[in-house]
Structure 1
Amino acid sequence: MTLDKDKMLEYCNQFSKNTLMETLNIEYIDAGEGFLVAKMPVNSSVHQPMGLLHGGASVALAESVGSAASHFFINDKEQEVRGIEISANHLKSIREGFVFGTARIIHKGRSLHLWEIKITDEQGNLVSLCKLTNMVLTKEKK
């Protein structure tokens, strides 16, 4: 799919309706050649019991932005994307504000995409570093 930046962001935000991304208030805010950025608010809805950003919420942001980014390299009428592996290192705690997930392509093959996703706070400090592998599948005929 080749779209301009505004259409890319509109597409991502539209397909997030009625999903976990909407529940977590993830919003796609920037895109360009080989990258996509989303933001997520940090508040009690994504906290763990000690009042910090839950690692699972960080991973959900990372997989959401990395999977969405893979859609820009496929024919979405004939293909679909599945995340098959994700790893995360949580490096910094955050209690409030926003985090930003920036997915950058590392490997773009015909059937596998490898993404590095950096999750940062509003000051640009690295909160989590994630790696996501997506598989590109042919859609089944209905």
Structure 2
Amino acid sequence: MTSTSEETLAYLNSHAGALNERMGVVIVEATPERVVATMPVEGNTQPYGLLHGGASVVLAESLGSIGAALNAGPGRFAVGTDINATHHRSATQGLVTGVATPLHVGRTMASFEIVITDESGRRVCTSRLTCALLERDPNPQG
């Protein structure tokens, strides 16, 4: 496994999109074999003060999509086609950490498992994301 350069992390964090920025997602590692990020519980809760399940899914899709893109290869990009999530326990404070690892990476499809844990290392959510790996159009119509 290769390590992630500070330059790569800075680029990914500045280009991760407005939703990730709004939710406080910070990418801390990104290689084709493993993508890791943190997200605060505060600001991402449902009315009862628990981490919103949708916030967990946003974190999972972001990590799996980055992993798929890193595996797509030159001139290709990843598009999510399916995601599911099982919420195991609640989180009410601190940071959660998501870790995405590939289940399958092929020529046209990649699937990732994303495990989200609380600061005590307890599993909060398990998600699976599948992405299509597509060719970039060399002559896009504008």
Same fold (TM over 0.5): yes
In structure 2, the partner of 1:24 is: 23
Instruction: Give 1:1-142 correspondences, 5 Å limit.
Output: 5-6=4-5, 7-17=7-17, 19-32=18-31, 34-43=33-42, 45-76=43-74, 78-140=75-137, 141-142=139-140
Deviation at 1:116, TM superposition (A): 0.3
CA RMSD of aligned residues (A): 1.6
Alignment deviations for residues 58-94 of structure 1 (CA, whole Å, 9 cap, x no partner) = 0000000110111211235x21111100010000101
Alignment deviations for residues 17-70 of structure 1 (CA, whole Å, 9 cap, x no partner) = 5x2111111010123451110100111x21111110000000000000110111
C-alpha separation between the residues in 1 aligned to 2:22 and 2:90?
Answer: 22
The count of residues paired between Structure 1 and Structure 2 equals 137
C-alpha separation between the residues in 1 aligned to 2:10 and 2:40?
Answer: 19
Gaps of 5+ in 1: none
Native 8 Å contact 2:32 2:68 kept in 1: no
TM-score by length of 2: 0.89
TM-score by length of 1: 0.89
